[in-house]
Amino acid sequence: MTLELHACTYAYRPWTRPVLDGLDYRLPPGVTVLLGPNGAGKSTLLRLAAGVTRPRGGSVTLDGTPSGARAYRRAVAWMPQQVTAMTALTAREQVAYTGWLKGMNRADAWAAAATALVRVDLAGQADTRARRLSGGQLRRVGVAAALVHGARVLLLDEPTAGMDPRQRRVFRDVLATLANEVTVLLSTHDVADLAEESDQVTVLETGRVRYTGSTEGFLAHAPADVAPGRRAEAAYTALSESTA
Ligand SMILES: Nc1ncnc2c1ncn2[C@@H]1O[C@H](COP(=O)(O)OP(=O)(O)OP(=O)(O)O)[C@@H](O)[C@H]1O
Please write the tens of the pLDDT for every residue from 17-74. 999 999 999 999 999 999 999 999 999 999 999 999 999 999 999 999 999 899 999 9
pLDDT at 77 over 80: yes
ipTM, interface predicted TM-score of the complex: 0.97
The Cβ of residue 202 has, within 10 Å, a number of other Cβ atoms equal to: 23
- Please give the pLDDT value at position 152: 93
* pTM for the whole structure: 0.93
pLDDT at 195 over 80: no
Please say whether the beta carbons of 234 and 192 come within 8 A.
Answer: no
Pick from 231, 226, 202: which is nearest to 214 by CA?
202
Pick from 104, 99, 145: which is nearest to 122 by CA?
145
How much distance in Å is there from the Cα of 9 to the middle of ligand 1? Answer: 14
Reported as a pLDDT band with limits 50, 70 and 90, residue 98 is very high
- Cα dihedral 3, 183, 94, 188, rounded to 10, equals -90
How much distance in Å is there from the Cα of 191 to the middle of ligand 1? Answer: 19
Residues with CB under 6 A from ligand 1: 12, 19, 36, 38-44
Ligand 1 binding pocket mutation candidate from 17, 35, 43 (most atoms within 8 A of CB) = 43
